[in-house]
Amino acid sequence: QVQLVESGGGFVQAGRSLSLSCAVSEAIVRTYHMAWYRWAPGQQRQLVAGIISGGSTNYGDSVKGRFTISRDNAKNTVYLQMKGLKPEDTAVYYCNVQGRTTGDSPRSYWGHGTQVTVSS
């Protein structure tokens, strides 16, 4: 069974830091692109950061210089370190993995989301 288990969300004051992690179940035998998205009420879903298996990364303009995405291929886990958090970073953060299970074609998998709330 494919599972993406996110952890690390919470409530913090502006300027503080939080780290998120997303553990991908072993059912996904190959991961390509891993990413974090966020969705705030009344807004469109936004790409926060992405990373491919080779390590190249890309970031949304609003988080560049503050957030860092990384992955541990051995643990099948993707991380998001968030520094200098702002109230506008408040959203539900979702882990996304482009990968495949044994015998299946690559597809997109989503976690259930973790809430990040930043107070001013």
1 pLDDT above the threshold of 90: no
- For residues 69 and 36, is the Cβ–Cβ distance under 8 A? yes
96 pLDDT above the threshold of 90: yes
- For residues 82 and 116, is the Cβ–Cβ distance under 8 A? yes
pLDDT tens, position by position, 23-74: 999 888 888 999 999 999 899 999 999 999 888 999 999 999 999 999 998 8
pLDDT for 108 equals 95
- For residues 23 and 4, is the Cβ–Cβ distance under 8 A? yes
